[in-house]
Amino acid sequence: MSVKAKTTPIFVWRIIVVTAFLVGLFGMLILRLIQLQIGASQYGTDFLQRQGDLRAVRSAEIPAYRGLITDRRGAPLAVSTPVVTLWANPQELRGSGREIELAELMNLPASEFMSRLDRYRKKQFMYLARHQTPQTARTVLAADIPGVYGKREYKRFYPAGEVVSQLVGTTDIDGAGATGVELVFDSQLQGQPGKKRFIKDLHGEAIRDIGVVSEAADGESIQLSIDLRLQHVQHRELLRAMRETGASAASAVTLDAMTGEILAMTNLPSFNPNRRGQLDLAAMRNRVVTDVFEPGSTVKPLTLVAALESGEFDIETLIDTSPGRITVGNKVLPDPRNYGEITVSRVIEKSSQVGV
């Protein structure tokens, strides 16, 4: 005996409704795919590509090489060396559980580092160490601690040290000219940074470079008129003269008598521009250029040279310096004593106010 199942009208309608719903849904998906692939609407493939780029593609700066500063023979006075700045995303780092390990790698007291990390807990950027050597940076980055990154930069180095420090000047920690020639010619020296694009993952880490948007343009090099050999000699002799006389400061300039070019310019006391933590603001001032003072007797030879070149005087010409003083305007300029009639060469020797 067999039992034949009966199909009720309600059950049939349920099948029809569900089937129609599934067919309609599938049709909508097909239409949407067609729209996304070939449609010209604002939500086509270009739109999706832009949205994807906004979420995953980032740009980074390519640092430009700062131009050299050299002496007249090409000897380097200021050069840029590659370094790495280490930084961290505190929010990623705090969740890694490896904060103490990082402090040990950085040779920092753990308590001090944790306190600093706590102050930056709501931020996504914190410097760990600026301008580290590539070798030091590799040691830290090789630990692969989440939230720790490196940025390639350049650091200024001055081979001649304090011998030419006030003239050449310094840059700040970000590589911009701060004093001296570095500041005056900053726009020529600094160059133009480039830009590259990369893809980041969900944690914000760069996983693949896409390509260079624009190459970095190196800065121009600046060649000065000074001769580093003369600069060393002048620095040494000025330092010796200071020690012999007990002077607290001294300055000297050597010029090419034919062209007027500056061959050496020295100020003491000086400073070592390679030791940023020990910079003395007073010693950084180029007093030859910045300070104003009466030249006094240093201009007397210039006056007498002009007199000799006029042809009306020679070194044996007699000059009457009596009575030992002269009035210029409302000011009386005396000699130490009345020299009477003396030759031009004696005027120089005695530095006579009246004779000049």
- Flag whether 301 is in a domain: yes
What confidence category does residue 1 fall into, taking pLDDT thresholds of 50, 70 and 90?
very low
pLDDT of 225 above 60: yes
- Flag whether 116 is in a domain: yes
Same domain membership, residue 326 and residue 203? no
Same domain membership, residue 212 and residue 118? yes
- Flag whether 237 is in a domain: no
pLDDT of 328 above 60: yes
Helix (H, G, I), strand (E, B) or coil at 316: coil
Same domain membership, residue 90 and residue 204? yes
Same domain membership, residue 219 and residue 303? no
Closest CA to 180 of 162, 193, 192: 162
pLDDT of 74 above 60: yes
Can you give the residue range of the structural domain that contains 345?
296-350
pLDDT of 158 above 90: yes
Mean pLDDT of 297-310: 85
Same domain membership, residue 108 and residue 216? yes
**Per-residue pLDDT, 194:** 86
pLDDT of 221 above 60: yes
- Higher-confidence position of 322 and 198: 322
**Per-residue pLDDT, 57:** 64
**Per-residue pLDDT, 63:** 86
**Per-residue pLDDT, 245:** 94
Name the active-site residue from 297, 322, 345, 352: 297
- Flag whether 333 is in a domain: yes
- Flag whether 329 is in a domain: yes
Q: Give the total number of structural domains in the chain.
A: 2
- Flag whether 136 is in a domain: yes
**Per-residue pLDDT, 264:** 98
pLDDT, one tens digit per residue, over 245-294 is 999 999 999 999 899 999 999 999 999 999 987 788 888 999 999 887 77
Same domain membership, residue 205 and residue 100? yes
Same domain membership, residue 219 and residue 309? no
DSSP character string of 220-282:
PPEE-S--HHHHHHHHHHHHHHHHHHT-S-EEEEEE-TTT--EEEEEEES---TT-GGG--TT
pLDDT, one tens digit per residue, over 80-129 is 999 999 999 998 888 788 999 999 999 999 999 999 999 998 898 999 99
- Flag whether 26 is in a domain: no
Mean pLDDT of the chain: 86
Same domain membership, residue 310 and residue 195? no
Helix (H, G, I), strand (E, B) or coil at 81: strand
Same domain membership, residue 332 and residue 215? no
pLDDT of 216 above 90: no
Q: Is 111 a catalytic residue?
A: no
Q: Give Cα 152 distance to the centre of its chain.
A: 13
pLDDT of 352 above 50: yes
- Flag whether 200 is in a domain: yes
Q: What is the DSSP secondary structure assignment for residue 97, as one 8-state letter?
A: T
Same domain membership, residue 308 and residue 206? no
**Per-residue pLDDT, 170:** 95
pLDDT, one tens digit per residue, over 6-61 is 556 666 777 777 788 888 888 888 877 776 666 545 555 565 556 555 555 667 77
Same domain membership, residue 193 and residue 107? yes
Which domain-ending residue is among 175, 199, 223?
223
Mean pLDDT of 162-183: 95
**Per-residue pLDDT, 186:** 97
Same domain membership, residue 328 and residue 195? no
CATH number of the domain that residue 143 is part of: 3.90.1310.10
State residue 62 phi and psi, 5-degree precision. -100, 115
